[in-house]
Chain A
Amino acid sequence: MSSARPQDDDRLHELLIQKPTSGLTEAEQQEFERLVSNPKYRDEAQRFELTAAAMSLAFFNSQYEEMPREIHHRLLIAAGNFFGHK
Chain B
Amino acid sequence: MRLDLVTDSIGTDRSESGISVTNEAPLLPRVAQGEPTAVAECLERYKNLVWSLARRRCPDIESAEDAVQDIFLKLWRIADRFDASIASETTFVAMIARRSLIDLSRKKSWNSKTNSAIELDSLSAGEMEADKRAELNDEAAKAAAMLEQLPEQQRKVIRLSIYDGLSHACIAETTGLSLGTVKTNIRRGMIKLRKSLFSDDEVLRNSSLTQGELQ
- Name the B residues within 8 Å of A65 (CB-CB): 48, 51-52, 55
B175 within 8 A of A: no
Smallest CB gap from A38: residue in B: B203
Report the count of interface residues on B (CB-CB < 8 A): 82
Chain A's interface size range is 35 or more
Structural contact, B4 and A57, CB atoms closer than 8 A: no
B98 touches A20 (CB 8 A): yes
- Looking at the assembled complex, report how far the CB atom of B133 sits from the nearest CB atom of chain A, in whole angstroms: 7
Q: Is the CB of B3 within 8 A of A64?
A: no
For residue A23, give the distance in angstroms from its CB to the closest CB of chain B: 4
- Cβ contact within 8 Å between A78 and B69: yes
User: Which residues of A, 44-65, contact B by the 8 Å Cβ criterion?
Assistant: 44, 46-65
Quick one: which of A48, A49, A58, A59 has the most chain B CB within 10 A?
Answer: A58
10 CB contacts below 8 A, A to B, read A21-B161, A22-B168, A48-B190, A50-B198, A57-B49, A57-B136, A60-B163, A65-B48, A79-B72, A86-B34
Asked whether, in the complex, the Cβ of A80 is within 8 Å of the Cβ of B95, the reply is no
| A-contact bits for B155-187, CB 8 A (1 contact / 0 none) | 000110111001110000000000000000011
Binding site for B on A (CB under 8 A): 1, 6, 9-10, 13-14, 17, 19-25, 40-41, 43-44, 46-67, 71-80, 82-84, 86
The answer to whether A80 and B186 have CB atoms under 8 Å apart is: no
Determine whether the beta carbon of B92 is less than 8 Å from that of A17.
Answer: no
What chain A residues lie within 8 Å of B119 (beta carbons)?
none
B126 contacts across to A, CB distance below 8 A: 58-59
- Cross-chain contact B142 with A72 (CB below 8 angstroms): no
Expressed in whole angstroms, the minimum distance between the Cβ of B43 and any Cβ of chain A is: 6
Q: Which residue of B lies closest to A9 (CB)?
A: B207
* Residues of chain A with a CB closer than 8 A to B187's CB: 14, 17
Closest B-chain residue to A44, C-beta based? B203
Chain A residues within 8 Å of B69, by CB: 74-75, 78
Q: Which of A6, A55, A61, A78 contacts B193 (CB 8 A)?
A: A55
